[in-house]
Amino acid sequence: MNWRDKALSYGLDPEEVPRVYDRYTMHRSYNEKMDAAVLPIANWYKWYRIEKLSEGHAMTQAPAEGCSVTEASPGQIPTGPLATEAQFLELLELYGQR
């Protein structure tokens, strides 16, 4: 299964993957230009998640059962994450291999 199909299977907008990956690309390009160490994507993604958590843009835990979208009551906006940290990292790695 390719990264796009896998993202859809998690209930994610596939366009979110390249958006986040582009930020990693910026990190890599900048550090290479500055002759500095480049974090492997798994390490960078941990840092990225911490930044997003501090800004209130990410959840710390996946819902206990399945996808949070199906757990929201009709008319309510789901509040939980759609994919776990490991699942999204896998999507980033797959996207980077394209």
For 22-31, 32-41, 45-54, which range has the lowest pLDDT when averaged over its residues? Answer: 45-54
Per-residue pLDDT averaged across 1-14, rounded?
A: 91
What is the pTM assigned to this prediction? 0.73
CA 13 to chain CA centroid, Å, is 11
**pLDDT of amino acid 70:** 47
The phi, psi pair for 6, rounded to 5°, reads: -65, -40
* 47-90: pLDDT as tens digits: 999 998 888 765 555 555 554 444 555 665 555 566 889 999 99
DSSP string, 6-53: HHHHTT--TTHHHHHHHHHHHHHHHHHHTT-PPPPHHHHHHHHHHHHH
